[in-house]
Each structure stands twice: as structure tokens, then as C-alpha cells.
Amino acid sequence: MSGTETGTGARTGGPEDIGTDVRHARRSVAQGARLGRMSFVWRPWMVLVTLLLAGAAFLVFCVSIGVGDFPIGLSRVIATILGRGEQVDEFVIMDLRLPRALAGLVVGIALGVSGAITQSVARNPLASPDILGITWGAGAVAVFLVTVSSGTTEAVVSSVGLSAAALGGGLGTGLLVYFLAWRRGIDGFRLILIGISVSAVMQAITTWLLVKADIRDVARAQVWLVGSLDNRSWDDVRVALWCTLVLMAVVAAAAFQFKPMHLGDEVAAGLGVRYTVVRAVLLLCAVLLAAVGVSVAGPVAFVALVAPQVAMRLMRSPTPPLMASGLVGALLLIGADLVARAALPITLPVGVVTAAIGGPFLVYLLVRANLRQTDR
């Protein structure tokens, strides 16, 4: 059988010349690293970028705390956070500004990681919680609460009630999209198409609610709908912080089983992954993370879409890296909030700035996807 003339002349790699090939391969195969009982692939570039991103996020976090009507220097901010600050600074920072900055950090990480998961599951950069309708679902339910229960149950419409409504709305919409898209498995394109349709329905419901509602409620709902970190208190942040920590722990535990799923369901199954379970757990985490983000800051546009894509390019990774996506998300959101507050002549809600960055980026992704399709 081996006597066949193939005519390509390209064939190499019979068992006889395997020695040189193995030596050749050794240079390209990733090296391992050990840490106690742990062993993992050693990729210096990715570690470096992740550390730099974490450093940058912390820096922007501190700068964001320092900027305001009563400016505080960077060194004093860091000293106060570490518990060695002066009393004046401590009041301004710990009571007034830290909740806002922490909200930005938590929401940014939650949205970034959420986007990384949904984009990986759908194997498509367009599949982010904004496109899949999760953020709009959360928004619609929150607006419903604001407008319908107007005046009568003022207590419910406190920020806690609003957050709970957004959380419920996000989760409900996420499940709806998942089950509508389910047909003997989940296909990326169907997920996105169903997501876009559900998203449109949710936007229509929101618009309808706003048209019908009392003008004062509309104003309140509008501010929330754009996405804003204004007036966040410790109560708002605390719940979101714990939720995000727990969800991140689950994501970290499942991340190892998630790696082969970038190669498609069947390959993953062949590699011993129970992909339906892993995918369901991770998508649930992604929906909850996005809903937590929306419940704190409103449906901040495009962070979940942009952050994983930026992280991929920085890390030179073919798939959205989870941790780096979260850090880029935080950097993006706090940075945008900083720009919205300090760099512009008028103070804007953060959602306006992220939309201004994210809109062009979405166009770029679409053009690029289009070019790739016509290439083939």
C-alpha cells in the first residue's frame, strides 16, 4: 500500500526520520512549569500581560478615587486604602468614593468575564451579553419596576429592588434565549440570531414602557438605562462583590474543562469533556455575571463585547482569555467613567463613553468578519 505515487512530493514523516522531527517539535511545544503540586503550561508573555493589566487596573482604580471636587493625590489614595491615611481622606475615600470605584471594578470584571465565556461558547466574537439580549432583558424588567410601580411602592423601587429586578430579568432572558436556541445542542449562530431577536423584543418592551410612563419615572429610568456609576453606596457594591467572587470561583473551577471546548463540541467530547454540563454551568455563570453587572451599573453598553476581544489581541491568544478579559473590562469601565467625569466639559454617564468606544469597535469586528468570509 505504501508504494503509491502521490504526486505531491510533500510527504515526509515516515517512522524512519522521526528522531529529527521530534527534536524539531521540542522547540515549538510549550514548556511546563511547576508550583508545588500544580503544573501548568508556562507562557511568559501571557503572565506578563496579565500582571501589567492588573497593575494598570489598580492604577486607574486609584486615580479614579483621587479625582473629584476634592482632589486627592495618588500616594494618599493608596495609603488610605491600605489603612494608613489621614482622617479627612479616609472619610472622602472610604465612605464616598471607594464604593463607586469598587462598583466600576466589579462590574468591569463581571462583564468582561461574562463576554469571554459567551464569545467562547458561541465561538463568535459577536456573542456578548449585550447582543444576546441579557442586558436588555435586565433593563426591561428594571424599567417595568420603575414605571409601573410608580409612587405606590416607593420602597421597592429603592436601589436594592431595582438591582434584584435587573438580576431576575437578566437571568430570565438568558434562560429564554438558551432554551429557544436549543435544538439537539447549541449552535453559535442560532444562539446569536435568537439573542438578537429577543434583544429587540426587550428593547421594544422597554420603549413601550417608557412611552406609557409618567414623565418623572421616565427621567429616572433613562439615567439608569444609559448605565452609570453615580451615587453607588456600600450596600449596592457589597452584594455584587460577593456574587462576583462566588461566580468567579465557579468559573475558575470549570475553566480547565472549558479549554477543549474551543475546538467544538464533538472534539471536546472525544477528549473526555461532558460538554453539555460544562457549557450549561459556564453559560449560567456568564448570564449571572452580566446580570450582576447590570444590576449595579445599569446596562453599560459594549464592555462585555469589547473587553474579551481586546484581551485576545493583547495576549496574542486565539481564544478569549478569561482572567485578562475581566481585567480589561475593569480597566475599560473605570477608565471610561474617569473620562466621563473628568476629561469632558460636561459630566456624562459612563454608558455614553463605553458606547462611543464600543460602537466603532463593533463595526470593526463586523467588517473584519465580513472580509474573512469573502476571502474564502
Partner 1 sequence: MAAQYITETETGSEAGSGIGSGADEVVRLAARGVTVGYGGRTVIDGLDVTIPPGVITTIIGPNGCGKSTLLRTLTRLLRPASGTVVLDGEDIARLRTRDVAKKLGLLPQAPVAPEGLTVADLVARGRHPHQSWLRQWSSDDADVVEHALAMTGVADLAERPVDSLSGGQRQRVWISMTLAQGTDLLLLDEPTTYLDLAHAIDVLDLVDDLHESGRTVVMVLHDLNLATRYSDNLVVMREGAILAQGHPRDVITAELLHEAFGLRAQVIDAPVGDSPIIVPLGRTHV
- Return residues touching partner 1 (CB under 8 A): 1-4, 6-8, 10-15, 18-19, 21-22, 24-33, 37-42, 123, 184, 253, 256, 259-260, 262-264, 266-267, 269-274, 316-319, 372
Cβ proximity to partner 1: between 38 and 343 the closer is 38
Q: Which CB atom, from 2 or from 347, has the smaller least distance to partner 1? A: 2
- CA 112, 116, 122: angle at the middle one, nearest 5? 145
User: What is the Cα–Cα distance from 217 to 237, expressed in whole angstroms?
Assistant: 24
Q: How far is the CB of 46 from partner 1 (least distance, A)?
A: 12
Euclidean distance between CA atoms 213 and 223, whole angstroms: 15
Q: Report residue 157 as a C-alpha cell.
A: 423601587
Q: Which is nearer to partner 1, 159 or 317 (CB)?
A: 317
The answer to whether the beta carbons of residues 247 and 288 sit under 8 Å apart is yes
CB of 34 to partner 1, least distance (A): 9
Q: Could you tell me which of 331, 321, 326 has the C-alpha nearest to residue 46? A: 321
For partner 1, which is the closer residue by CB, 27 or 71?
A: 27
Nearest CB to partner 1, comparing residues 155 and 371: 371
Residue with cell 468591569: 108
Phi and psi at residue 185, in whole multiples of 5°?
125, 175
Q: How far apart are CA 46 and CA 239, in angstroms?
A: 31
Query: CB of residue 371 vs partner 1: minimum separation in angstroms?
Result: 12
User: Which residue number, 152 or 376, has a Cβ lying nearer to partner 1?
Assistant: 376
CA 369-375-376 angle, to 5 degrees, is: 100
Question: How far apart are CB 325 and partner 1 at their closest, in Å?
Answer: 15
Q: What is the 3-state secondary structure (H, E, C) of 115-175?
A: HHHHHHHHCCCCCCCCCCCHHHHHHHHHHHHHHHCCCCCCCCCCHHHHHHHHHHHHHHHHH
Nearest CA to 279 among 191, 190, 181, 186?
Answer: 186
Under 8 Å between Cβ of 53 and 314: yes
CA angle 168, 288, 303 (to 5 degrees): 110
Residue closer to partner 1, measured from CB, 344 or 369: 369
Q: How far is the CB of 319 from partner 1 (least distance, A)?
A: 5
Question: Minimal distance in Å, beta carbon 6 to partner 1?
Answer: 5
Instruction: Return the number of the residue (22 or 193) whose C-beta is nearest partner 1.
Output: 22
190 CB burial (10 A radius; 0-12, 13-18, 19+): middle
